Chains A and B, each alone.
Chain A
Amino acid sequence: MTPKQLIAIVDEVHGILRLKGDGRIHLELPASWAQIGGRAEPTTPTSFGSDLRYASVQGDAHPFAHAHRELLRRVRGLELIEIDRPDECCGFGGSFCVTDEAVSAKMGYNRVNDFHRRGVEYIVSADMSCLLHMKGVIDRLKLPIKVIHVAQILNGGPA
């Protein structure tokens, strides 16, 4: 895997993803273009200030329509797992993670445990700070979960 490919793919995906009039994401890609074995679940990027906000997660009755699921659904060998609270924030929040330590850590623990209960092996996100935070919790709790950037999967699996 080279970052050049990785960036290229992300750019291409940005170009192809479209939010159509019915409020759903439409994506045209070859049926299978990346492969990874395992059970995974994308974590929702925070909608605040994020250019990943293709579709509303909680608003307007499309609770699970978001870009990552649509992308990952097309990855061969990947089983997507539904968790109890798909759109819950992991609690990182920038300086919030240290200035509001108790709440932030509690959110992180609850979030990671939601994935863990469902037997998720990979937590997928395009937001590095979500992954950083959940990794910190996973390592402290010594759970068998890996965090992975969505581009790593789309680029052919974890390096």
Chain B
Amino acid sequence: MPAKSRPVDPEGLAARFIALEKHDSTHDHLVWGMRMNRDRAIAAVPDWKELRELASQIKEHTLTHLDQYLEQFEQNAKKLGTQVHWARDAAEHNTTVYDILQSHGVKSLIKSKSMLQEECGMTPYLEKRGIEVTESDLGERIQQLSGEPPSHIVVPAIHKLRSDVAKLFAKDLGTDPNNSAPHYLVEAMRNNARPRFMAADAGMTGANFAVAETGGFVVCTNEGNADIGASVPPLHIASIGIEKLVPRPRDLGVFIRMLSRSALGSPITQYTSHFHGPRKGGELHVILVDNTRTDLLGSPDFWHGLKCIRCGACMNTCPVYRRSGGLSYGATYSGPIGVILDPGFDLSKYRELPFHSSLCGSCSEVCPVKIDISDQIYKWRRVVAQKGLLRVTKAVGMSALGKTLAHPEVFHAGEFAAESALAHLPRFLLYNSLNPWGKHREMPAAAPQTFRQWYIENRRTK
């Protein structure tokens, strides 16, 4: 049995982010803004409710017939001249990429944003083997230069202020550290990136959708960076999670209408590029990756998580995510979708994530493919408890609470003690480091009479 990984501490990391007041309030403001834009965008689509239902059904159908759609995709992709590879896990994915790169003598690689490649830890793996990897999405490039993973699946550097980016670029691109004008910074990065695009030996992308009926796949970006990365170098490799399949091209009409509306509130991504086989004189490789997806598919409680189209709407609406910043989840996927996906990769490491939620349910409401995210968060809590991975304080507290609530006499004694304490104890005994509630909030006032006492006196009939 592998050693249990140390758990990440989302509460502690979130508290540190909140202490950076300007970062926290700006992050909350910007991310909430995306949620509002999303609300406006979907309000303009009269059949949104039907679209959601349809999207959910298409995904459920595909996932329950995944074997046949994957084989259909492989056959059709091969007919287009695409070379298809299969990877059981992250390690197989990375060695497959490396083998392809090596056989083509690739020294430098330009890649667009891919959460799957993040999930596989591909960039550090390739860098260790002497391949220069450049992220071409602006936000991802900022994160790469910072040595940080993306903090949001759509807007990876959203937790940073403009002034942070100015300082970072000053160090790496030689810009003026005091000039944080967006056009200035973007132009500096553009000038830095352009020669890298031209010189790269290979381009890599992910994929948003893969179509079984055609063997083609779709990459959505707002910067066009995937297109240039896939079109300039002679070699294009795309990493595709097996859950990205849709049966027919017409299904794209459902998902593409929903993706960017849910993500940023725009009707469609700036670039929605369809790849059908290699271009003339080029090579196209597709790697179909499992990496725990089939485990999830076999789980009655959690397989719906595979419907996710990575729009980030759940993150934008999540009040906990907006205050915490994505990095506090310590995982590839942050926010509500991260809370239900990450424990599937490493339960011990991500055991605290399901508790980093107030279970308000907003994520399930906004999910365009109707994933029962908040219900799954609750179910992961149960899994953590059943596997004996609850933090000691939580396990003791929950067990005491369970016993108290199960025994009325214990409950009433506790109620009496609490009311007396609230009414009579001096402030320093009520408000101290043992009482996290009291750090920022007042304790409730003691009621002159509990409802139960009132009921016994006034309403009880023998």
Alpha-carbon separation in the docked complex, A30 to B49 (Å): 32
* Distance in Å: Cβ of B354 to nearest Cβ of chain A: 11
In contact, A136 and B442 (Cβ under 8 angstroms): yes
- A59: nearest chain-B partner, CB-CB: B365
Q: Which of A93, A98, A132 contacts B357 (CB 8 A)?
A: A93
Q: Is there a chain A Cβ closer than 8 Å to B2's Cβ?
A: no
Q: Does A35 have its Cβ within 8 Å of any Cβ on chain B?
A: no
Interface of A is mostly: helix
Compute how far the CA of A47 lies from the CA of B365 in the bound complex, rounded to whole angstroms. 9
Given known A136-B441, A139-B442, contact A107–B398 (CB-CB < 8 A): no
Contact of B183 with A by CB under 8 A: no
Q: Mark A87-103, 1 if CB is under 8 A from B, else 0.
A: 11101111111111111
Contact across chains for B362 and A61 when beta carbons are under 8 A apart = no
Min CB distance B240 to A, Å, is 29
Scan residues 105-159 of chain A and give those whose CB is less than 8 A from a CB of chain B: 105-110, 132-133, 135-137, 139-140
Total number of A-B contacts with CB less than 8 angstroms? 137
Number of chain A interface residues as a range: 35 or more
A contact residues around B357 at 8 Å (CB): 93, 96
The verdict on A12 contacting chain B, using a C-beta distance below 8 Å, is no
Cβ contacts under 8 Å, A137 to chain B: 440-441
Taking a contact as CB atoms under 8 Å apart, the answer to whether A95 and B398 are in contact is: yes
Cα distance, A98 to B45, chains bound together (Å): 41
Check B140 for interface membership: any CB of A closer than 8 A: no
Q: A48-B360, A89-B360, A110-B28 are in contact. Are A63 and B39 (CB under 8 A)?
A: yes
Contact A87 B362 (CB under 8 A): yes
A58 near B441 with CB under 8 A, answer no
Residues of chain B within 8 A of A56, CB atoms compared: 365
User: Are B319 and A105 touching (Cβ within 8 A)?
Assistant: no
Contact B320 A100 (CB under 8 A): yes
User: With the chains together, A104 CA to B437 CA distance in Å?
Assistant: 9
Nearest chain-A residue to B11 (Cβ)? Answer: A100
Q: Which of A49, A63, A108 contacts B440 (CB 8 A)?
A: A108
Residue of A nearest to B437 (CB): A98
- CB distance B364 to A46 under 8 Å? no
Q: Say yes or no: B317 contacts A58, CB within 8 Å.
A: yes
Q: Is A3 an interface residue (CB 8 A)?
A: yes
Interface status of A11 (Cβ within 8 A of chain B): no
Q: Do the beta carbons of B455 and A100 come within 8 Å of each other?
A: no
Q: Which of A60, A99, A133 interacts with B441 by CB under 8 Å?
A: A133
Asked if A99 contacts B440 (CB within 8 A), the reply is no
Q: Which residues of A contact B32 (CB under 8 A)?
A: 85
B residues in contact with A93, CB < 8 Å: 357-360
Is A103 within 8 A of B362, CB to CB?
Answer: no
**Are A135 and B444 in touch, CB under 8 angstroms?**
yes
Inter-chain contact A102/B394, CB cutoff 8 Å? no
Q: A111 CA to B364 CA in the complex, in Å?
A: 21
Taking Cβ atoms with an 8 Å cutoff, the residues of B that contact A are 11, 14-15, 18-19, 24, 28, 32, 39, 42-43, 45, 48-49, 52, 317, 319-320, 323-324, 355-362, 364-366, 374-375, 378, 393-394, 397-398, 401, 436-437, 439-444, 451, 454-455, 458-459
Interfacial residues, chain A to chain B (CB-CB below 8 A): 2-4, 23, 46-49, 56-61, 63, 85, 87-89, 91-110, 132-133, 135-137, 139-140
User: Can you list the 8 inter-chain pairs with the closest CB atoms, starting with the nearest?
Assistant: A93-B358, A136-B441, A89-B360, A102-B15, A139-B442, A105-B440, A48-B361, A47-B361
What are some 6 contacts across the A-B interface (CB < 8 A)?
Answer: A46-B360, A60-B49, A87-B362, A99-B393, A99-B394, A102-B15
